[in-house]
Amino acid sequence: MSTDAILPPATLGMLGGGQLGRFFVHAAHEMGYQVWVLDPDPNSPAGQVAERHLRADYEDFAVLDRMAAECAAVTTEFENVPAATLDYLAKFIPVRPGAAAVAVCQNRIAEKTFLADNALPHGPFVAVREAGDLADVPATMFPAILKVARFGYDGKGQATVHDASEAMQAWQGFGAEACVLEKRLRLDCEVSVVLAREASGEIKVFPVAENRHRNGILDVSITPARVDEALAEQARQVAAHVATRLEYVGTLAVEFFVSDGALVVNEMAPRPHNSGHATIDASIADQYMQQVRALCGLPLADPRPHSAAVMVNLLGDLWYRAGDERAHEPDWSVLYAVPNLRLHLYGKHHARPGRKMGHFTVIDADVERAFAVAMAARRAIGIDDD
């Protein structure tokens, strides 16, 4: 253990107040820490359970001074915190992960360039900063997906394009913002790796998850992924290499496409990840405990799973059935009737379509049994099959 480890009852700072921050607060509380959350949303899920919720902008330097004075260290739950905020706080207290690592993950051009520069598996891409960047794109790049370089998530800020003309129209529709044009790949499946890395360089990796998306949003995550073990091991090694090259400290997720049997890095998330939620119920230590430990300079815990797990996202669409204009609480009794299912609701103030309101996880010794039970519960609560 580091001689400068941060021990309870120290106060930790969290930038961002969504469900990932809420789970961090729970983990920190269980370990004896207090937490301050900075988030401008008065209904912040993490702010509801923290010792203090600072309702301010991320660039309110008077508030940042309060955090620097009262918090022993600071982390984040989403990648779009301004780099200036992270740099400013790092002058006074540990900030993990650091601004440089977050900056790579929060900009798709920087992210793709990082992958290329480090010989990490990636698909064909073109950085689009001006109209001329689209003029000479070869026909072999299409069909493709144009993605805004900043602030796109859950399928937002993306457009499928079939030629350079469509790409130009989509780019102009995005306000001529910096974008990345990515060749659309044929997908076998999608997987992800969540890991934790401490400042000494030690890395602990959770089992590879197999992910299914719907309308660009994660729908179902299956752990362990039902893929060849050699491919799973390669995914773990690539994710660890990403963390090492970034000099990353904290919990990190790396998402992959599996295309024609080969791994391709899709993107990195400098925080815990939706596909890692199952670790709460199926692993000895979960991704949020590891986030606390890495932040505080404590040895990482054992990430081994004790069960297979299938996680199902619960979106705000579930609150609006049969064309209802008003939200209605789903019948949770159908989920509580399943003995090996655990429901997690995030305490969000308002349900709306596409918004992540909660999730449930089914655990079992056998992944196929867990999957069958989870899919039955998914249908029972009212989520239609594709």
User: CATH number for the 11-95 domain, one of 1.10.1040.50, 3.40.190.150, 3.40.1310.30, 3.40.50.20?
Assistant: 3.40.50.20
Band of the pLDDT at 1, cuts 50, 70, 90? Answer: low
Cα dihedral 325, 329, 333, 339, rounded to 10, equals 110
Q: Where in the chain is the domain with CATH 3.30.470.20?
A: 189-381
Query: Would you give the distance in Å from CA 23 to the centre of its chain?
Result: 13
Is 16 known to sit in a ligand binding site?
no
Q: Residue 370 corresponds to which tokens in the numbers above?
A: 């867990």
Is 147 known to sit in a ligand binding site?
yes
Is 267 known to sit in a ligand binding site?
yes
> CB under 8 Å to 177, separation ≥6 — which residues?
148, 149, 150, 171
d(CA 242, CA 259): 20
Tell me the mean pLDDT in the region 41-52.
97
Class of domain 124-183: alpha beta
d(CA 232, CA 189): 12
Is 154 known to sit in a ligand binding site?
yes
pLDDT for 313 equals 98
Q: Where in the chain is the domain with CATH 3.40.50.20?
A: 11-95
Runs of H (alpha helix) within the chain: 19-30, 45-49, 61-70, 83-90, 99-105, 108-117, 132-135, 164-173, 229-246, 279-282, 287-296, 333-336, 367-381
The 10s digit of each residue's pLDDT in 318-340 is: 999 766 778 899 999 999 999 99
Q: Residue 291 corresponds to which tokens in the numbers above?
A: 């986030």
Burial class of residue 311 (count of CB atoms within 10 Å of its CB; 0-12, 13-18, 19+): buried
Fold entry, domain 189-381: D-amino Acid Aminotransferase; Chain A, domain 1 (3.30.470)
Is 112 known to sit in a ligand binding site?
no
d(CA 375, CA 383): 9
Count CA atoms closer than 13 A to 218's CA, side-chain side: 25
The 10s digit of each residue's pLDDT in 123-155 is: 999 999 999 899 889 999 999 999 999 876 655
The 10s digit of each residue's pLDDT in 263-298 is: 999 999 999 999 999 999 999 999 999 999 999 999
Is 152 known to sit in a ligand binding site?
yes
pLDDT for 153 equals 60
Long-range contacts of 47-50 (CB under 8 A, 24+ apart): 47/17, 48/22, 48/347, 49/22, 49/25, 49/347, 50/14, 50/25
pLDDT for 322 equals 67
Q: Is the pLDDT of residue 304 over 90?
A: yes
Other beta carbons within 10 angstroms of residue 305's beta carbon come to 17
Name which residue leads in pLDDT, 115 or 322. Answer: 115
Is 64 known to sit in a ligand binding site?
no
Is 156 known to sit in a ligand binding site?
yes
d(CA 182, CA 257): 13
Q: Is the pLDDT of residue 100 over 80?
A: yes
Is 53 known to sit in a ligand binding site?
no
Is 183 known to sit in a ligand binding site?
yes
Is 266 known to sit in a ligand binding site?
yes
Q: Using the 8-state DSSP alphabet, how is residue 319 labeled?
A: G
Is 158 known to sit in a ligand binding site?
yes
Is 184 known to sit in a ligand binding site?
yes
